[in-house]
């Protein structure tokens, strides 16, 4: 393998390019028009333009193979997503005489559909979830099967992934509507409306095992990852190893995953996903587990496995594709420490986590020991609706789980995203919540802890102190910098006064520099502190031997203080008279372009906070728009089937 074409984009392409260059392999990037100035295009040795994003060029297998031939590439790496699990594309690459950095097409076909995958696993002796995977897709047959499975149950598109085409059904009278929604989403996302039914595990954990196989018949697993922290079936935080598993269960899961890979003569990187049923445990206290699906590619969350094993999984992929044996045997693989990954997205947590668009006017990441950032964007990059709105993966390793979480929270606190909304603050709160730190994870975790995950209302005095210290240290740094600065702090003020408005109330206090420390007046219980700055936003306060670490991000109107995973906004000016925080004007606007699937209200109808107003289909997902406050619907400007533009007025509530 001399030259590798990466049939992907963003952080995925950058990840593959990084390893290929380290191994002395030349690289070729392919890109759509909107990606022409992206970092991955610059970093590749060569780049080939594929055309407009609207034409979906990353799914054009013929164009990608032609680009490989034109540039002299002798291998193609599909990354993850797009064509990475497309067996026909893999076969076409091999037919073209190119090296395919992925599993054999035959193995991919077995696992491509959830129903055929479960049939293969059942034959291999791997436990599967009770349910229906039949070919008869008539409404009558599916309803009869649903009654046989029992409620609650889960409807899944057999070609689905990422939560698309998936619906939970808790009662028989909900089944038909949920079925139609899952079929619509499966058809829109994957061109396949076939579904399967499964028993709904009430308290599930999502645990997956990284496997690798080679052409010499060797198969190993590289331990497991826990991906239970999910929202709408989308993974939010992943970690390795999974917390709280017994050695016995960890070993059993690894053997089951390796058995699954062996059964289909698997080669390359793959992930076998299991559901653990926390309500069904054996005599040893270990939960029952069931095969869910196998992803025949590298996973988004593979960095946490790399962190705990010390292995480069992309290098393993390349070596296997070159016909080499696996670099290590099962006995040589060990776990060192713990790793946690958070997916930083351009999305608005205050509006149901709808995707956000815009230009990143500023992007900077928190750093520190054990912190790794995988990103495909930079300051100045635009995030639109053409592709997944991920900004970065923030990964932290530590010698213990607690240390890894501490480092992740610190990195998130120190991350700055400006120009569009992101889930940064939500991730920091989620990673630092006591229940997560205790390892009490399952797929219902986020919904169950919604109240604890809401932004804080009260602002502790310690947060005010961090903000004031940051102001004082910033002023000191400015006064002592440059050619006209005076030595020995002679030009500094003898006292700093900080004034912040919190919830409409003015809070003020003073900081007096004394012998390298600050004497505090105006904050209860805080007398004298030491302080130091780190970077442009970091500040540490020493209060009686106890350290407070924070990050302060300034804007024209105020400061955002991040501390211990929480974010607090402090205004620098008094609020306008009559302003009421948190209330909208009753105008519901489209958060993105899309198509209206359903309208649930009519003019004159009374609604309460949280009531569903309409369903919008955008980015191949259905989004519920709800009332932000109670009132009466005064106008409805759209109907089912309408196409709407970003920012269009949809519903008015008086």
- Taking the domains of the chain in order of start, what are their residue ranges? 3-101, 104-129+203-336, 131-199, 337-455, 461-571, 587-653
Other C-beta atoms lying within 10 Å of the C-beta of residue 649: 13
Task: Please say whether the beta carbons of 527 and 535 come within 8 A.
Answer: no
The residues carrying an active-site annotation are 297
Residues of the chain short of pLDDT 50, as ranges, are 484-491, 578-584
- Are 104-129+203-336 and 337-455 the same fold in CATH? yes
Distances from the Cα of 78 to the Cα of 99, 212, 317, 453, 465, angstroms? 11, 17, 11, 37, 50
Q: How far is CA 498 from CA 160, 457, 507, 508, 542, in A?
A: 54, 20, 8, 5, 19
Which distant-in-sequence residues (6+ apart) come within 8 Å of 532 by Cβ? 473, 539, 540
Cis bond before residue 465 (omega within 30° of 0): no
- What pTM did the predictor assign? 0.83
* Predicted pLDDT at 576: 62
Q: Which CATH architecture has domain 3-101?
A: 3-Layer(aba) Sandwich (3.40)
pLDDT of residue 578: 40
**Rounded-to-integer distance, Cα 576 and Cα 156, Å:** 50
Q: Which fold has domain 461-571?
A: Glycoprotein, Type 4 Pilin (3.30.700)
Query: What's the CA gap between 195 and 215, in Å, rounded?
Result: 33
3-state class (DSSP) for residue 636: strand
CATH 3.40.50.720, applies to 587-653: no
Q: Which residue is listed with tokens 């670099």?
A: 327
Q: If you classify domain 131-199 with CATH, what class do you get? A: alpha beta
* Cα–Cα separations (whole angstroms), residue 415 to 406, 530, 603: 14, 24, 44
CATH number of this structure's domain 337-455: 3.30.470.20
Tokens of 415: 């991350």
Class of domain 104-129+203-336: alpha beta
* Alpha-carbon span 205 to 412, nearest angstrom: 25
């Amino acid at each position: 393998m001399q030259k590798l074409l990466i049939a992907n984009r963003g952080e995925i392409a950058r990840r593959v390019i990084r390893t290929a260059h380290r191994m002395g392999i030349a690289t070729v990037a392919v890109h759509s028009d909107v990606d022409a100035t992206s970092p991955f295009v610059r970093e590749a040795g060569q780049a080939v333009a594929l055309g407009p994003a609207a034409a979906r060029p990353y799914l054009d297998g013929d164009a990608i193979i032609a680009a490989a031939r034109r540039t002299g590439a002798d291998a193609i790496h599909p990354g993850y997503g797009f064509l990475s699990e497309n067996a026909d594309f893999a076969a076409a690459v091999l037919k073209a005489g190119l090296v395919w950095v992925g599993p054999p097409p035959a193995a991919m076909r077995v696992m491509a559909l959830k129903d055929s995958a479960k049939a293969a696993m059942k034959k291999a002796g791997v436990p599967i979830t009770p349910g229906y995977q039949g070919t008869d897709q008539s409404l009558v047959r599916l309803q009869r099967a649903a009654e046989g499975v029992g409620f609650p149950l889960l409807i899944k598109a057999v070609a689905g992934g990422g939560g698309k085409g998936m619906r939970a059904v808790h009662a028989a009278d909900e089944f038909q509507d949920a079925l139609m929604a899952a079929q619509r989403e499966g058809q829109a996302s994957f061109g396949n409306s076939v579904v399967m039914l499964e028993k709904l595990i009430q308290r599930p954990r999502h645990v997956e095992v990284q496997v690798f196989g080679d052409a010499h018949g060797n198969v190993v697993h590289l331990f497991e990852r826990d991906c239970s922290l999910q929202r709408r079936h989308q993974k939010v935080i992943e970690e390795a190893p999974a917390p709280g598993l017994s050695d016995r269960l960890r070993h059993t899961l690894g053997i089951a995953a390796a058995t699954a890979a062996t059964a289909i003569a698997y080669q390359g990187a793959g992930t076998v996903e299991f559901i653990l049923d926390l309500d069904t445990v054996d005599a040893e206290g270990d939960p029952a587990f069931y095969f869910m699906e196998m992803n025949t590619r590298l996973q988004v969350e593979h960095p946490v496995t790399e962190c705990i094993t010390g292995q480069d999984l992309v290098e393993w992929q390349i070596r296997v594709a070159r016909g080499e044996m696996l670099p290590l045997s099962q006995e040589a693989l060990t776990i060192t420490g713990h790793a946690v990954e958070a997916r930083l997205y351009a999305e608005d947590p205050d509006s149901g986590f709808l995707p956000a668009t815009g230009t990143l006017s500023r992007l900077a990441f928190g750093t520190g020991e054990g912190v790794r950032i995988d990103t495909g964007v930079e300051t100045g990059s635009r995030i639109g609706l053409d592709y997944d709105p991920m900004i970065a993966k923030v990964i932290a390793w530590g010698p213990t789980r607690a240390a890894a979480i501490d480092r992740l929270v610190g990195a998130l606190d120190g991350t700055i995203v400006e120009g569009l909304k992101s889930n940064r603050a939500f991730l920091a709160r989620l990673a630092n919540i006591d229940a997560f730190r205790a390892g009490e994870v399952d797929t219902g975790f986020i919904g169950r802890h919604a109240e604890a995950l809401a932004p804080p209302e009260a602002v502790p005095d310690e947060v005010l102190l961090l903000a004031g210290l940051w102001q004082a240290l910033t002023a000191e740094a400015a006064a002592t910098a440059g050619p006209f600065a005076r030595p020995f702090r002679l030009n500094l003020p003898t006292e700093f006064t900080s004034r912040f408005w919190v919830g409409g109330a003015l809070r003020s206090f003073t900081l007096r520099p004394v012998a390298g420390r600050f004497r505090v007046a105006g904050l209860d219980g805080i007398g004298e502190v030491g302080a130091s700055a780190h970077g442009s936003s970091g500040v540490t306060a020493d209060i009686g031997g106890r350290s407070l670490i924070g990050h302060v991000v300034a804007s024209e109107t105020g400061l955002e203080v991040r501390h211990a995973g929480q974010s607090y906004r402090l205004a620098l000016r008094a609020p306008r008279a009559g302003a009421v925080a948190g209330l909208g004007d009753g105008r519901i606007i489209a958060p993105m372009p899309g198509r209206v699937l359903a309208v649930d209200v009519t003019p004159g109808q009374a609604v309460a906070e949280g009531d569903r107003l309409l369903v919008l289909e955008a980015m191949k997902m259905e989004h519920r728009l709800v009332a932000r406050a109670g009132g009466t619907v005064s106008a409805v400007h759209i109907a089912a089937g309408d196409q709407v533009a970003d920012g269009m007025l949809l519903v008015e509530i008086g």
